Each structure stands twice: as C-alpha cells, then as structure tokens.
Structure 1
Amino acid sequence: MQPSDLRIALVTGNYNYVRDGANQALNRLVEYLLRQGAQVRIYSPTIPEPAFAATGELISVPSVAIPFRPEYRWPLALTPRIRRDLAEFAPNILHIASPDLVSHRAVSWARGHGIPAIASVHTRFETYLAYYHLELLEPAVRLILRRLYRRCDALVAPAESMAAVLRAQRMNRYISIWTRGVDRAQFNPERRDMAWRRANDIADDELVVAFLGRVVMEKALDVFADAIDALAERGVHHHVLVIGEGPARPWFEQRLPGAVFLGEQTGDDLARALASSDVLFNPSITEAFGNVTLEAMACGLPVVAAEATGTTSIVRGGETGLLVEPGDSDAFADALEAYATDPAMRARHGAAGLAYAETMDWDRINSAVLDAYVRAIARRERRERLTGRTAAPTAI
C-alpha cells in the first residue's frame, strides 16, 4: 500500500479551537500526510474564532462547553449528517485522538463497516481526576478507556514510558511509538534576547525559571508555587516567567506575585520568551510526552521535571536536566538551586538537551503513524483472508 492509497478519517475532541501540544501535533501530522498524497478528513468540534487555522478539511461535530472548563468542548454525537459524510468519504482507516463519546461511536461505526481503527494517546486523562478531588472515579475512567482502546486495532503512544503504562493497563496488544518533533527554525538558542529580558525587569545575572503551558491546576501549579517559595526562602536570586494562559491564571498570579505573566505566546514571541529563560520547570505528571519540554531543550535550556510518564523518555537525569520525585517541592527547589549556583552545569545540560532536540525531525516522526496505518490495514486484511469474513480486532 502506498501513502496515496490512504483515506484517513481523523476524529478528535479538539483540533484547533484551543491551542495545545496535542492538537498542534495532529495538525502537523495531517500536513505531512497530505504531502505524502493521502486523503484526510477531520471531524472535531469547532468555534467561530479558533486558536489557529486548521490544516486539512475540517467537518464540525456538534458539541457543548464543558462545565467548569468552558474553553474546552464535549463532542455530543455522531449525527446522521456526519455518518453520511463518513460514508461518502469512504475511509480505509479511522484515527481517533480523544477518548470521548463521539470517538466511541466512531470506532463502532468503523467496526461495523470493516474499517480498522487506531487511537493516538496524548495525555494521562485518569491523572486529571486528583486535581478535581475525583480520585474515586479513576478505576471507572480506566475501565472506559480500556473498553475503547481494546476495540481499536492499534494504539500509538508518544513515548515508550507511556506505551509501557498502556501495556501494563492491558489497553491493547499493538502499541507503537509516535513521539514528537520540534521546529528548530522556531525554537533555538539564537532566539535569546537580553534586551527583551531587561524590558521585563529581569537582570542579566538573574536565573529565569520558566513555566510553559496551559495555566490549569492539573499542570501541578501548586507544586510549582511551593517550590518557588522554598527557593525564595533560601535566598536564591531568581525570576519566574509564566508563558501561557488558562483558567487558573488568577490563582497562579496570587501565589506568584513577583512573576512575569506573559499570557499565551505564539511564533517568534514564544520562541524568544522561552530562549530568554534559563531553565524550564515542569512538575506536571499528566503529560504523555511533554512538547514544551522538547521545545525548551531545542532552545538550549536544561529542564527540572517530575520523574513521570513521558518526561522520562525525553529528559535524561543528570545529563539534559534533573528529575525529581513528583510532588516533592523541596526536592524541586534543590534542583533549581543547583542550576542557580552552578552555571557550568546549567550550560552543559542545556547543550546536551539541544543535541537531543536536533535529532527530533518531524517528518521522520510522523512517518511512524503512516506506518501504523498501513500495518493496521494489513492485519485487518490478513484476518479477513484467514477467516473469510470481516473480523473484529483482537485485544488482550
């Protein structure tokens, strides 16, 4: 099978209406697939003014705002209109990218039509519950995820550490790796701008600790703030730079009154702010990969991060950054202090991270998803030849 033979239906809960690492990776994937000659149609909730322009042909899915998180939308149904559109498009592979109701229905539709389905896993959804005091629901959520993922022909995960979790949770037998690349023309050390730092009241000799991402509690904002408090109590000279926007920004601003809050940054502004920092601090445990971590490394920054799924596949402790037990704010402060007091180590770890980031080419990485499509189709065809009928995918 050639890439030009592929007709891919991509179903996701967020393709471009709110900017995040997952949907930016999906847009890059679609751009790559279109260049290879594949046909792609995307089904996702839409809004009148999305965060960025969609790559490819986007079909709007009915949705409602999620309570308490209205910036995100919950897809409601695989309506007759969408089913007709799917039938007319006649995909030979279905790709789901979010474990919502419409994705469940789309997988059922694919199975009913003898079409293989794969799922890409972008985050540790079950870990979000603790930040909303809903830990008791975690077993039920894992059960729902398992039911969905085991009905797929294959999964793609962004890191081997995440794939190991999925295997341990018996989510599927066939799991391959779709890691993440980085745009090195955008993110690189040359973006560092000392005049910009001074314009933001940051001294040349001040350690700039960057937070990059959606400003939401599940990014472990409480741990971040506690670690910064501990660093200040030790008398370590530093400045916090918060790059991103989100509903928890008022809380975060109250906890970090001396920080510079830039809001959402894109393009050259984002790259300049990140490269003008000195260390990225990412205490979150919810990422399946951590795009922001790789972007920081491409800018030559060392990383202080939680020793958690996804991050451990990018950051090599003691080489490209320092890994810390999740939730240990004092240990995070220790790591930040080590970089503040040892500029040579900071430079050495930053250079090693940059060397790693330079190997992460997007086209090579996205080709892994194309290969996963072809393998899933071939397995389905092989089962059908052996059984003489359309076969459901085999799970664990």
Structure 2
Amino acid sequence: MRIVHVLDHSAPLHSGYTFRTLALMREQVALGWEPVLMTGPKQDSGDCLEADADGWHFHRTPSPRGRLAQAPIAGELAVMRAIERRLERLVETARPALIHAHSPVLNALPAWRVARRHGLPLVYEIRAFWEDAAVEHGSCREGDARYRATRAAETFAMRRADAVTTICDGLRGAIAERGVADDRITVIPNAVDVERFTTHLPEDAELASSLGLSDDYVLGFAGSFYRYEGLDIAVRAMAQPPLRDGRFKLLLVGGGPDEAALRSLVSAQGLEDRVIFTGRVPHDQIERYYGLMDLLVFPRLRHRLTELVTPLKPLEAMAQARLVAASDVGGHRELIRDRETGFLFEPESPAALAECVAQLAAAPEAQLDDVRAAGRRFVEQERTWRASAARYAPLYESLLGENRRDTARS
C-alpha cells in the first residue's frame, strides 16, 4: 500500500514534528507499506523538487514568489496553491492508495482538493491546533480575527476529511467538540523507540566537572525554550526556601525564543552560579547530559495548548528510567500517574515545584527506584512507536474498503 504523506516540514530540520514523522514512517515501512513523503514551502527548500535526508527521500514544494506571497492571507493562499500543484503531480506519478495530510490546515485543504479529484481517501492528522500554537508563539491573540479564521479553516478541513487522527485524548475530545463524529477520530499517540534508550546512564565525570556539577542535586530540562514550557517557574523555584541550599542546581540544555528572557531572570535572581545554560547540543550527545540529571522537570504553564497536547520529552525521560516531575496540566496527566510513574505539582507555582524537589531529594532511593521502573514499564507497554503505528492499520483498511465499495457503486 502506497501512502502520500503531506508534511509541514521534515529532516534535516530537527523538531518534535520531524522526529514523530520519521519514527512513524519507519514503522509503516516495517508493516509493509510504502510511504511517499512530501513537504510544503515552509520547509524553505527554494526551487528544489526532491532531496534526501536522514536516509529518506522527500518531494519538496518550491516556495511561492512575488510580493503577494509575503502578504497576510494572500501568502497563505499562495502556499496552498503551491502545495496543491505539487501534490497533483506527485499523485499522478506515485498513484497512491490514499493521501495522509499532517497539520496544519495549509496542507489539509490542498490535500482535500487533490484527493477529491482523484477519488482517494483523505486522512488528516492533527498534531496541535495551530491557532493555539500561534498564540503561544505570539503570532496572534486568542479570539482575534486571525485566530478565528485559522480555527474555522481547521474545522472545515477536519469535517471534510474521511478520517482524522491525532496525538492524544485531549485533542480527540476537542476535535469531537467541533462536530467530527467520534468514530472518525483515531488517536495515534506520541511514543519513543524504547530500544534506543538505556536505563543505566553513567555520569560523565569530565562533563560534570566542566559544568560545575560534581557534587550537586541536579534538576534538568532538555529541549526548546518556549514560553509555555514554564522554564521561568523552574528558575524561580531555585530561589525558594527549600532549594536555597547551594547543592541544588538547574541544568538547562537547549535554546529557543525564551532564552534571553530566562538569562535575564537568572541574573535578576542572582542565580548565575546555580542555573547552567549549555546551549544546544548535538542530538547524539544528549544522553551525556541526561546522565547528570537527578530529576527532570517539566513545568509547563496552564494554557490551552498544554492542557490539550502531550509532549514527547517526558516519555523519553521515562524510557531512560529517569525521575520525572511535571506540572499538573492535561497533557502531562495523560503521560504521568502521580507518585506511580512520576510526580505532578501545581502549575505556575515556583513554591510547589521547590517543595516537590525537596521531598524527592530526601526520599528513600528504593522508593524512587520503584517509580523509575514503573515509568519505564509504562513506555514499554503503552508508548512504543510500533504500537502507535499499528493503529493506522484498521483505519487505512476501513477507508480503502469504503473507497472500493463507493467505486463499485459508481
């Protein structure tokens, strides 16, 4: 079975979006399917039509040109026209059994038009509500004209797709509220390659010494520094009474839009010697930094996006049998059972995070080992990419069966 996947962006760019894509594509190949991968103009590939990256072949969409291509609304329309033209040519040559478009709606609407012309089933995969992501990134305000227009377009696309997939139960419920029948929604959850993660990470003494972390209790975060991640809460927690002891350190691995604000906050709080920024590190080196962390913290803020969407990073930490503490928002509650596979604390409260950390630092190691082992079991049993990708099979088979019946009747 050949499936054309229409993507926002892909390798060689690094993001949670691209990691999920390639993990699921590997499993689709293992199931005997043939995924054909296409990216839209947001990949910024210039005039390139095809490219290889990370062992995969991608069909690229050239970027629209001209002044209108940069203008609001006209620019989005130009992007969709470019995607539709490129997808039309690809479908004519690849002759897929179905089209699978992935967020955002700029991919879904062109895919819907092409699918209808060719009589193909269309699956639309919602990885996040992009109007909510735009609010978090500062591109619009909740409820403004752009927000409402994006939401309306997304709802239009969801209702017209033959099936909708999404990454978690929070998003599933919100999609159903928009008028999509429950039996047309399938959850394909985020997951990890368990085999890639070791549960016994040795501490890299040389790295620890270079970062000034040799004899400390280290809180850690590795990922992109976005406002909604709540890393300012982690910084402020370091100044709370339970953590004022100099042995508590915070290690921030990565970078992003909120980095400058975080560095300013660290300076204002006088925490330069206790909050360490590493900058971005190569993906193949990340486990060296994980090995220095006694506790991974995920202090996401209580926003619409974080209530609905599950992140990948806590799963990766649990796959390594690392101790995890996360804010009690909906996306985390789908992944972490409090005091069983990890620990939840009140969102947006530096005091609550500090108290949680202090309690864990003083807890018996045997008790914490039980939590670490339970987290690893949860991932092994429920959150592997193989198990997630297997959920596509009955969905695809159902759509193709309906399509064959419709063709026979026509």
Partner residue, 2:49: none
CA deviation profile, 1:163-206 (whole Å, cap 9, x unmatched)? 233223434531122123323343223223141323321133x2
Partner residue, 2:287: 271
1:8 Cα deviation from its structure 2 partner: 0.7
SS across alignment from 2:58: strand
After superposition, residues 186-265 of structure 1 pair within 5 angstroms as 186-195=196-205, 196-204=207-215, 206-230=216-240, 234-235=244-245, 237-256=247-266, 257=272, 258-265=274-281
SS across alignment from 1:191: coil
Q: Which amino acid aligns with 1:156?
A: T
* Distance of 1:106 and 1:246 partners within structure 2: 32
SS across alignment from 1:358: helix
Q: 2:179 aligns with which of 141, 147, 170?
A: 170
Please, what TM-score do these two structures have when normalized by structure 1?
0.83
Q: Which amino acid aligns with 2:199?
A: P
Q: 2:153 aligns with which of 144, 147, 172?
A: 144
Partner residue, 2:165: 156
Partner residue, 1:392: none
Partner residue, 1:70: none
CA deviation profile, 1:232-264 (whole Å, cap 9, x unmatched)? 765474211112232332222332334222333
Q: Which amino acid aligns with 2:299?
A: P
* Distance of 2:56 and 2:212 partners within structure 1: 42
* Distance of 2:380 and 2:359 partners within structure 1: 26
Size of the aligned set, in residue pairs, is 373
* Distance of 2:312 and 2:62 partners within structure 1: 29
Partner residue, 1:296: 317
Q: Which moved more, 1:286-295 or 1:183-192?
A: 183-192
Mark the CA change 1:251 to 1:21 in structure 2 (over 3 Å): closer, same or farther: same
Q: Which amino acid aligns with 1:199?
A: S
2:336 is the counterpart of 1:341: no
Partner residue, 2:116: 111
After superposition, residues 1-396 of structure 1 pair within 5 angstroms as 6-44=1-39, 45=41, 46-47=43-44, 53-63=53-63, 75=79, 77-78=82-83, 80-128=85-133, 129-130=135-136, 132=138, 134-137=141-144, 138-173=147-182, 174-195=184-205, 196-204=207-215, 206-230=216-240, 234-235=244-245, 237-256=247-266, 257=272, 258-284=274-300, 286=305, 288-344=309-365, 345-359=367-381, 360-383=383-406, 388-389=409-410
Structure 1 contact 12–103 (Cα < 8 Å) conserved = no
Mark the CA change 1:199 to 1:252 in structure 2 (over 3 Å): closer, same or farther: same
Mark the CA change 1:211 to 1:93 in structure 2 (over 3 Å): closer, same or farther: same
Q: Which amino acid aligns with 1:331?
A: A
Structure 1 contact 75–100 (Cα < 8 Å) conserved = no
SS across alignment from 2:330: coil
Q: Which moved more, 1:308-317 or 1:189-198?
A: 189-198
Structure 2 contact 5–101 (Cα < 8 Å) conserved = yes
Structure 2 contact 108–124 (Cα < 8 Å) conserved = no
Mark the CA change 1:280 to 1:127 in structure 2 (over 3 Å): closer, same or farther: farther
Mark the CA change 1:18 to 1:215 in structure 2 (over 3 Å): closer, same or farther: farther
1:297 Cα deviation from its structure 2 partner: 0.6
Mark the CA change 1:365 to 1:224 in structure 2 (over 3 Å): closer, same or farther: same
* Distance of 1:379 and 1:224 partners within structure 2: 51
CA deviation profile, 1:9-60 (whole Å, cap 9, x unmatched)? 11111112431222111112222222333222111144569xx934532111
* Distance of 1:377 and 1:326 partners within structure 2: 44
1:382 Cα deviation from its structure 2 partner: 4.1
Gaps of 5+ in 2: 47-51, 72-77, 267-271
1:323 Cα deviation from its structure 2 partner: 2.0
Please, what TM-score do these two structures have when normalized by structure 2?
0.80
Q: Which amino acid aligns with 2:214?
A: A
Structure 1 contact 42–58 (Cα < 8 Å) conserved = yes
Structure 1 contact 17–47 (Cα < 8 Å) conserved = no
1:296 Cα deviation from its structure 2 partner: 0.5
Provide the aligned C-alpha RMSD in A. 3.0
Mark the CA change 1:113 to 1:227 in structure 2 (over 3 Å): closer, same or farther: farther
Gaps of 5+ in 1: 1-5, 68-73, 390-396
Q: Which moved more, 1:298-307 or 1:278-287?
A: 278-287
* Distance of 1:20 and 1:162 partners within structure 2: 20
Structure 1 contact 40–56 (Cα < 8 Å) conserved = no
Q: Which moved more, 1:53-62 or 1:11-20?
A: 53-62
* Distance of 2:112 and 2:329 partners within structure 1: 30
Q: Which amino acid aligns with 1:259?
A: V
Mark the CA change 1:123 to 1:339 in structure 2 (over 3 Å): closer, same or farther: farther
